[in-house]
Amino acid sequence: MKYVLIFIFCLSINVFTQVKQELRAVWITNVDSYVLFSDKNIEDAMTFLANRGFNLVFPVVWNKGYTLYPSRVMDSIFQKPIWPTFAGRDPLKKIVLEAHKHGMEVVPWFEFGFASSYSLNGGHLIAGKPSWALKNSAGSLVVKNGFDWMSGINPEVQDFMIALHNEVIDNYDVDGVQGDDRLPAMPIEGGYDSATVAVYKSENNNNNPPANYYDLGWKRWRANKLSQFYRRLKDSVKVRGDYLLISSAPSVYPWGFDNYLQDSKTWVDSGIAENFIPQLYRDSYFGYVNEFNNSYNQVTPSKRNIFYAGVLAKAGSFLIPADYLVSAVNYNRQQNVKGECFFFYEAFTANNNALGDTIKNRFYSEPALLPYRNGTIFRPKAEIVNEDDSLLTRRTGNWIKVPVQGYNPNLYWTNDTSLSTFEWYMDIDFDAWFDVYVYLIPNFAFSSTAKYTIYSQNDSSSVVLNLRDNANTNWVKLGSVYQTKGRRKVIKIDNSMPEAGKYIIADAAMALINRKKSPDVVITSVEREEENFTGDRAGRMLKQSFPNPVSISSPFVSIPYSLGGISTVRMEIFNLLGELIYEKNLGEKPAGEYVETVDLSSAGNISSGIYFYRISTDYKRETGKLLLTK
């Protein structure tokens, strides 16, 4: 989390107007990209994107007839639970964890939609379900631009696609779903399969559909059926959570309607699509502007707030030139379009991260809220407490800090036979359900019976983990807890289930808000009320920083505070979104008056605006505000 709730006392301005609201998104593919091929790659990619100001990822979960997550639906129908390359792994689970850890939203992308395969005569889907094939007027499988198609009007195919979406939403704490130029879609040549014909005849006096697939009535009927499916898909998603975004990234209109029966104008106007990202894919800036204008002008003015630009950044040998990228984003903002999504991730790491650094330095240096969240932070960053945090950990017994690989980077261990406990506390900023994790690196020297206790508001439960099991690597979820605002004990490990000669360990712990369980918790921006933990110690301890405002050209700020008794002290500074940009443990200090001077430039690429500084002690936490100016 590292987020704090705002109560502004000293400035009569609306600070929310100063927080940018922009969609900064990227597609994550499994083609021409290695992001999804290892958990380490996923972790590195999400860190890379977060550090460059992105706030939304669209990871592919459906490609060439395979899911890219373990699927019971696919296993039950086709005995193919996941793309074989990813067998034994769950890339979606990992990307949800790592993106949410950094405060980015995750909207799974069902890339292939109603296409069953690419140049494989329908692949295993059509081999297993021949009646699902989309047929042309000659009775042959529809193949268009190499893609083999299922019939998106066949009720069984529709139910299958909805089942895949429901499975993802039910099993993962995601933030929405996305279809693209193949969902929903049907090549205009199709619709002559027996299932589609049967539906048509039932609604048209038992008449067969016209042989001319360009017939206007036949074209409209098929497009309407796809739109009706999309409405049904949305209803199925929304019943699981109204916060779940329905994102649409279709081909441009009217080309998509004329060639793939994608009536995206109706999807936008009728409210089916809540987030509209037409694929404005052109290899030149001139072509991009032309496509942008054509697409933007098709959107009803009252709906233009959901319009975002789909920008082609990489495809095959094409890599968007930096001047094209800069001009395109500038043009988006000039037209009051508040964001873009780039295809695809690898463009930003090419040439030693050149475009990634360009997009950050030119446009994404300041954090931004997602516009469709209406000024709220839907995914606050994780609260991570390292094992050496003197304020937020407590230990009893004989724990030894050792240079064994851990989160940052060491850990504590004990093999003492007398009772030893290690507790993690967290500063909870709002009442909600949280998923709690511990960081583990398996080792043969560790115990196979480590007992953890996780604490909710009114109860607790125990979990036993095998610390030698390679399945328990990196962030391991212990469970979900309901916690209320304040400093709370969240996790404990003890040696009550000892294994002779083996160690139990204490490394970092983490908490992430669980939106499936807490969909309605509203989080705004940063600063919290002062809070006493063990009683008031001589009144207010924090005084106004000076100078205030602070100049970027000389970004040194002095922060005075007083202590009413001996305490460990920590200094933190947050930006307006509540993102931690600076922290320092000041050690244990006796009662007295102190001044801490901070060089704000050490926080990285800072910009002008409001910041909040916070002093935390063993018994109190207080926050002040400073203004950074050019």
Q: How many CA atoms lie within 13 A of 466 on its CB side?
A: 6
Angle at Cα 255 formed by Cα 252 and Cα 260, nearest 5°?
Answer: 100
Same domain, 295 and 195: yes
What stretches of 83-193 show up as alpha helix (H) in DSSP? Answer: 91-101, 123-128, 155-171
Compute the distance between CA of residue 355 and CA of residue 284 in angstroms, rounded to an integer: 16
pLDDT tens sequence across 123-166 = 999 999 999 999 999 999 999 999 999 999 999 999 999 999 99
What DSSP string runs through 538-588? SS--B---BSSSEETTB-EEEEEEEESS-EEEEEEEE-TT--EEEEEEEEE
Q: Taking residues 341-364, what's their average pLDDT?
A: 98
Q: CATH number for the domain including 102?
A: 3.20.20.80
For the cut 90, the answer to whether the pLDDT of residue 528 exceeds it is: no
Q: Buried b / exposed e across 316-336, counting CB within 10 Å, b at 16+?
A: eeebbeeebbbebbebbeeee
Compute the distance between CA of residue 490 and CA of residue 482 in angstroms, rounded to an integer: 10
Same domain, 154 and 301: yes
Q: Can you read off the two tokens belonging to residue 90?
A: 């769950």
- 473 falls within a domain: yes
| pLDDT band of 7, cuts 50, 70, 90 | very low
| pLDDT band of 527, cuts 50, 70, 90 | very low
Reference 434, options 535, 361, 515, 347; nearest CA is 515
Chain centroid to CA 545: 35
Cβ-Cβ contacts under 8 Å for 335 (sequence gap 6 or more): 292, 296
pLDDT at position 462 is: 98
Q: Can you read off the two tokens belonging to residue 317?
A: 């040998």
Number of domains in the chain: 3
- 480 falls within a domain: yes
Secondary structure of residue 227 in the 3-state scheme: helix
Q: Can you read off the two tokens belonging to residue 550?
A: 């602070």
Q: CATH number for the domain including 473?
A: 2.60.120.260
Averaged confidence pLDDT in the chain? 93
Q: What percent of the chain has pLDDT above 70?
A: 95
Same domain, 588 and 609: yes
Q: What is the pTM of this model?
A: 0.86
For the cut 70, the answer to whether the pLDDT of residue 530 exceeds it is: no
With beta carbons less than 8 A apart as the criterion, state whether 281 and 202 touch: no
- 582 falls within a domain: yes
Residues composing the chain: 630
Task: Assign 3-state DSSP to the chain and report helix, strand, coil percentages, each to 5.
Answer: 25, 30, 40
Q: Taking residues 77-91, what's their average pLDDT?
A: 98
Angle at Cα 321 formed by Cα 317 and Cα 326, nearest 5°?
Answer: 145
Secondary structure of residue 274 in the 3-state scheme: coil
Same domain, 150 and 295: yes
Compute the distance between CA of residue 211 and CA of residue 567 in angstroms, rounded to an integer: 83
pLDDT at position 12 is: 33
- 460 falls within a domain: yes
Q: What are phi and psi of 520, to 5 degrees?
A: -105, 5
Compute the distance between CA of residue 503 and CA of residue 450 in angstroms, rounded to an integer: 9
The residue from 345, 373, 401 where one domain ends is 373
For the cut 80, the answer to whether the pLDDT of residue 521 exceeds it is: yes
Same domain, 207 and 288: yes
Angle at Cα 430 formed by Cα 484 and Cα 435, nearest 5°?
Answer: 75
Tell me 19's DSSP state. Answer: S
Same domain, 281 and 164: yes
Lowest mean pLDDT among 125-139, 320-334, 405-419, 607-621: 607-621
Same domain, 199 and 343: yes
The residue from 347, 373, 399 where one domain ends is 373
pLDDT tens sequence across 175-231 = 999 999 999 999 999 999 999 999 999 999 999 999 999 999 999 999 999 999 999
Q: Which helix (H) or strand (E) holds 232?
A: helix 216-238
| pLDDT band of 525, cuts 50, 70, 90 | low
Same domain, 350 and 447: no
Compute the distance between CA of residue 309 and CA of residue 249 in angstroms, rounded to an integer: 9
For the cut 70, the answer to whether the pLDDT of residue 3 exceeds it is: no
Q: CATH number for the domain including 623?
A: 2.60.40.2550
Q: Can you read off the two tokens belonging to residue 252?
A: 């441009």
pLDDT tens sequence across 226-267 = 999 999 999 999 999 999 999 999 999 999 999 999 999 999
pLDDT at position 318 is: 98
| pLDDT band of 83, cuts 50, 70, 90 | very high
Same domain, 99 and 242: yes
Q: Domain of 75?
A: 20-373
Q: What are phi and psi of 428, to 5 degrees?
A: -85, 125
Compute the distance between CA of residue 195 and CA of residue 15 in angstroms, rounded to an integer: 57
For the cut 90, the answer to whether the pLDDT of residue 399 exceeds it is: yes
Q: What are phi and psi of 284, to 5 degrees?
A: -140, 155
What stretches of 403-531 show up as alpha helix (H) in DSSP? Answer: none
Same domain, 492 and 602: no
Q: Can you read off the two tokens belonging to residue 28?
A: 């994550």
A 10 A CB-CB count for 60 gives 25
- 519 falls within a domain: no
Same domain, 215 and 102: yes
Same domain, 481 and 504: yes
The one-letter code for the residue type at 501 is G
pLDDT at position 18 is: 62
Environment class of 458 (CB within 10 Å of its CB; exposed 0-12, middle 13-18, buried 19+): exposed
Chain centroid to CA 525: 18
A 10 A CB-CB count for 240 gives 14
Lowest mean pLDDT among 281-290, 455-464, 542-551: 542-551
As beta bridge partners, residue 570 has 585, 616
Q: What are phi and psi of 350, to 5 degrees?
A: -65, 150
The residue from 479, 513, 547 where one domain ends is 513
Environment class of 538 (CB within 10 Å of its CB; exposed 0-12, middle 13-18, buried 19+): exposed
Reference 426, options 481, 362, 368; nearest CA is 481
Q: What percent of the chain has pLDDT above 90?
A: 80
- 6 falls within a domain: no
- 389 falls within a domain: yes
Compute the distance between CA of residue 549 and CA of residue 551 in angstroms, rounded to an integer: 7
Compute the distance between CA of residue 167 and CA of residue 71 in angstroms, rounded to an integer: 8
Cβ-Cβ contacts under 8 Å for 508 (sequence gap 6 or more): 384, 385, 386, 387, 406, 407, 408, 438, 439
- 378 falls within a domain: no
pLDDT at position 614 is: 87
Higher-pLDDT residue of 75, 550? 75
The one-letter code for the residue type at 152 is G
